[in-house]
Amino acid sequence: MGLGIAQKIIKAHLLEGKMEKGETIGIRIDQTLTQDATGTMVYLEFMALGAKRVKTQLSVSYVDHNTLQTTFRNADDHLFLQTAASKFGVYFSRPGNGICHQVHLERFGVPGKTLLGSDSHTPTQGGLGMLAIGAGGLDVALAMAGEPFYLKMPEIIKVELKGRLQPFVAAKDVILELLRRLSVKGGVGKIFEYTGEGVKSLSVPERATITNMGAELGATTSIFPSDENTYRFLKAQKRERDFSPLQPDPDAAYDDVIEINLSELVPLIAKPHMPDNVVPVSELEGTKVHQVAIGSCTNSSLKDIMTVAHMLKNQRVHPSVSAALVPGSRQILKEISKNGALEILVSAGVRILESACGPCIGMGFAPPSKGISLRTFNRNFLGRSGTKDAGIYLASPETAAAAIITGEITDPRKLGIEPYIFELPEEFAIDDQMILPPSPLPETVEIRMGPNIKPFPENEPLGEKIKGEVLIKVKDDITTDHILRGGAEVLPLRSNIPEISKYTFSVIDPDFYRRAKEKGGGFIVGGENYGQGSSREHAAIAPMYLGIKAVLAKSFSRIHLANLVNFGILPLVFENKEDYDRIEQQDVLEIDTSGIDRLDIKVKNLTKNFEIKVKPLLDKRGIEIMKKGGVLPYVREKQREERHG
């Protein structure tokens, strides 16, 4: 029986385990990427491991999140990242060079390679045929130090694309259609592999839009073949040497098949406050819009921006709308400066923002109170924009441009504008001067650490009995934005766990921090898909710092589950989901972990005097990690044994 694309890459990189669904496997990582919101912690962790130089083929440190420098904090972090990269053998993409996923696609992504990134949208590189996976920062630090990356062998889902997209229907509508069908939980434990005749009609930027937002399905990753379109993109980047063809075998077996006829898709839009709250644009036509934002790692490619410029030629931004555009990289900004698109956008009244994540992570351009903001981004979680009572809608650049013109949600097919046909440049405006190579003399480099960078906190080994209060009980689909939000106020504290921990659960329970400190820690009770969204490990580190010993939930998202284990927080699922309803906030629980080797853990509700059955989501490695209090002490001990063994 033949292999699919993902299986071929996994097989070529398999270091431990069997390539059987549900089995724990360890794979070799070729490349890593970090960004500044998560990267500061990654390099602190790398240093805590005692590592001296990265062992990957390529590692890149990007600055694209915390570029708003209102105090010394972000600037200090950037200097720390630059000096750490230089010393440890990492390339450094300076502030202003662009969004990590867009720049990596342009300058570093290689078909058939593995990539691990401390950002949940790392699967963007699947548009190039990479096996690219988002992970917590500690997993990335371990990969940089030469350790395998461990995960459960995912199910492989074949997504067969037929037909071709009609005018003003975009790649964004493909992934919105999948979210509409499957929900934000529908991809957990799965890899989505795109095949079929429809694939040939999609350019690399369009494929990258789809793989990028596959993260919103909860997917491990998404991947496209490497074909003639891939070659053309790499050749235009003067990187044709990095091309290699990659296709599934004709008799490749898949765990499931989903068919999408591209010709039948219509413009779609996600309503607040979840990316899977998807309806046709036609259902919301006439809804007044206060703000439109175009960009993010999902939709800031040259194709996206040229499409918007085409639609806005000889047009004006509607008087009731504030419109902004974020070029995904400095390369793209130079392209639109050269070809006249920037002039069109500026003349229309569009605000041009820095090539960075910006408003997608709540870093500027917040909507007005109770405003409607239409964005080409990937997430519309409550409060993520910086305005808690705003309504955030997600749509394609075509639908966003239509709203800029009309001042309301409008089906772009009804504007009477001629369709735009994008042509890939023969050669992009390549300029890598803002990507700094590591120092050839690392021993001469001094790592600069500002006063906001605090030592990396570590957990204690797991005791045989844990007793504490349920500090908070939350519902389904709680995101890492709910657990520890982003935004201009909080993101500069990513390298200062004592300070950032004060914002834990502040979006939904401003009193949580005080309660956790007063009680000396305790437990969290969650619903389905607990911890979905961003890969930010701070949503595990801050609770650990506050004394959280276990999370009891109906189910967990993949990355957050791994982060909890990495930091020694016990992840438990209810064997009987109805038991979720029997536990309330303030109940005192006692958890007996003495049988952890047998995965036999008992939970007693001391307040109400009953016991419930739970299942610890741990494999053999996870059990040993929990006993040690986290993956750092586990790996350090393993390395000591190897040195003396």
Long-range interactions of 415-420: CB distance < 8 A, separation 24+: 415/311, 417/310, 417/311, 419/167, 419/168, 420/306, 420/307, 420/310, 420/311
For helices 36-48 and 72-88, angle between their N-to-C axes, nearest 10 degrees: 50
The last residue of a domain, from among 264, 293, 308: 264
CA pair distance 561, 532, nearest whole angstrom: 9
CA pair distance 411, 491, nearest whole angstrom: 36
Residue 201 belongs to some domain of the structure: yes
**Residues 604 and 589 sit within 8 Å (Cβ to Cβ):** yes
Flag whether pLDDT at 408 surpasses 70.
Answer: yes
**Residues 356 and 363 sit within 8 Å (Cβ to Cβ):** yes
Residue 458 belongs to some domain of the structure: no
Mean pLDDT to the nearest integer, 188-193? 96
- Nearest of 260, 233, 261, 231 to residue 245 by alpha carbon: 231
Residue 460 belongs to some domain of the structure: no
Flag whether pLDDT at 510 surpasses 80.
Answer: yes
Q: Which two three-digit tokens encode residue 578? A: 């109805």
C-alpha 299: how far from chain center: 15
**Does 34 share its domain with 172?**
yes
- Confidence label for 645 from pLDDT (cuts 50, 70 and 90): low
Q: C-alpha angle 107/108/114, rounded to 5°? A: 160
Mean pLDDT value across the chain: 95
Strand ranges (DSSP E) for 81-179?
91-93, 114-117, 131-134, 149-152, 155-162
CA pair distance 589, 388, nearest whole angstrom: 33
Flag whether pLDDT at 643 surpasses 80.
Answer: no
CA pair distance 379, 293, nearest whole angstrom: 13
Residues recognised as catalytic: 64-65, 119, 379, 534, 536
CA pair distance 221, 251, nearest whole angstrom: 22
Residue 575 belongs to some domain of the structure: yes
**Does 126 share its domain with 164?**
yes
CA trace torsion 337, 338, 340, 346 (10° rounding): 10
CA pair distance 7, 598, nearest whole angstrom: 31
Flag whether pLDDT at 412 surpasses 90.
Answer: yes
**Residues 117 and 34 sit within 8 Å (Cβ to Cβ):** yes
Residues 6+ apart with CB under 8 A from 124: 101, 102, 104, 105, 132, 208, 211, 212, 297
Residue 123 belongs to some domain of the structure: yes
CA trace torsion 79, 82, 85, 91 (10° rounding): 160
Flag whether pLDDT at 642 surpasses 80.
Answer: no
**Does 211 share its domain with 120?**
yes
CA pair distance 394, 514, nearest whole angstrom: 35
Residue count of the chain, please give it.
Answer: 645
**Residues 298 and 213 sit within 8 Å (Cβ to Cβ):** yes
**Does 636 share its domain with 586?**
yes
CATH of the domain at 469: 3.20.19.10
CA pair distance 134, 120, nearest whole angstrom: 4
**Does 168 share its domain with 212?**
yes
In angstroms, the Cα distances linking 277 to 94, 183, 267, 503 are 36, 8, 14, 27
The pLDDT, as a whole number, for residue 386 is: 86
**Does 565 share its domain with 606?**
yes
Q: Which two three-digit tokens encode residue 339? A: 């070809």
pTM for this structure?
Answer: 0.93
Q: Is 10 exposed, middle or buried (0-12, 13-18, 19+ CB in 10 A)?
A: buried
Residue 27 belongs to what H/E stretch? strand 24-27
SS3 track for 173-188: HHHHHHHHHHCCCCCE
CATH of the domain at 115: 3.30.499.10
* Helix, strand, or coil (residue 168): coil
The last residue of a domain, from among 264, 295, 329: 264
Give me the residue label for tokens 């413009």: 267
183: containing domain: 5-264
- Confidence label for 384 from pLDDT (cuts 50, 70 and 90): confident
**Does 222 share its domain with 277?**
no
Tens digits of residue pLDDT in 464-492: 899 999 999 999 999 999 999 888 788 88
Residue 430 belongs to some domain of the structure: no
For helices 302-312 and 341-348, angle between their N-to-C axes, nearest 10 degrees: 50
CA pair distance 452, 41, nearest whole angstrom: 12
**Does 520 share its domain with 580?**
yes
- Give the least confident one: 133-142, 159-168, 271-280, 450-459: 450-459
CA pair distance 620, 599, nearest whole angstrom: 10
Tens digits of residue pLDDT in 292-316: 999 999 999 999 999 999 999 999 9
**Does 106 share its domain with 244?**
yes
Flag whether pLDDT at 636 surpasses 80.
Answer: yes
Residue 551 identity (one-letter amino acid): V
Residue 455 belongs to some domain of the structure: no
Residue 633 belongs to some domain of the structure: yes
Tens digits of residue pLDDT in 210-221: 999 999 999 999
Name the domain count of the chain: 3
**Does 377 share its domain with 316?**
yes
Tens digits of residue pLDDT in 308-354: 999 999 999 999 999 999 999 999 999 999 999 999 999 999 999 99
Tens digits of residue pLDDT in 537-583: 999 999 999 999 999 999 999 999 999 999 999 999 999 999 999 99
The last residue of a domain, from among 414, 440, 474: 414
Mean pLDDT to the nearest integer, 370-390? 92
The pLDDT, as a whole number, for residue 637 is: 86
C-alpha 180: how far from chain center: 19
**Does 335 share its domain with 481?**
no
**Does 120 share its domain with 39?**
yes
Write the DSSP assignment of 542-555 as a string of letters: HHHHTTEEEEEES-
For the chain, the 3-state helix, strand and coil shares in percent, each to the nearest 5, are 35, 20, 40
Beta-strand pair 322-325/291-294: parallel
Q: In angstroms, what is the C-alpha Rg of the chain?
A: 24
